[in-house]
Amino acid sequence: MSSFFGNLFGNKKRTTTQAEVLLEELIDRERADQEKQFSAESPARCDLCSKSFSAERFFVDGEVKGTPQVGVPDGTSMGQWANMCAGCFQARGVGVVWGSGQLYERTPNGTWLMMAGFPPPKNDA
């Protein structure tokens, strides 16, 4: 059994991790192109594991599972938020949806573009 994964994941260069594949599946590229919503900050590292974002493709700004809940104005509550690397998001992130987290992908010029977790459509019709 152990050699099965050894063969699959052994002797590889840095490639897309499983956690990154899960994030890729969330991407709404059409909406991202419309919204052009860039992260206001450029976090240097993951708040949870301190991994540098310098070689990361994604980060998630979102709620962390198992953190103290605080009340929010709409009467619900939410936990603490953090800038998470893909691996930490997979382990501890609540989700990439409006209210729980936003997914950002690095652009060629080094900014971070929101790829998922957009606000609800702004039509009041």
Closest CB 46 distance from Zn ion, rounded Å: 3
Tell how many helices (H) and how many strands (E) occur in the chain.
4, 6
Q: Is the dihedral of CA 59, 65, 68, 74 positive or negative?
A: positive
Closest CB 101 distance from Zn ion, rounded Å: 14
Between residues 84 and 114, which has the closer beta carbon with respect to Zn ion? Answer: 84
Between residues 52 and 77, which has the closer beta carbon with respect to Zn ion? Answer: 52
Between residues 10 and 66, which has the closer beta carbon with respect to Zn ion? Answer: 66
Closest CB 51 distance from Zn ion, rounded Å: 5
Closest CB 49 distance from Zn ion, rounded Å: 3
Summarize as ranges the residues that interact with Zn ion (CB under 5 A).
46, 48-49, 51, 85, 88
**DSSP characters over 55-97:** T-SEEEEEEBTTSPPEE-TTS-EE--EEEE-HHHHHHHB--SS
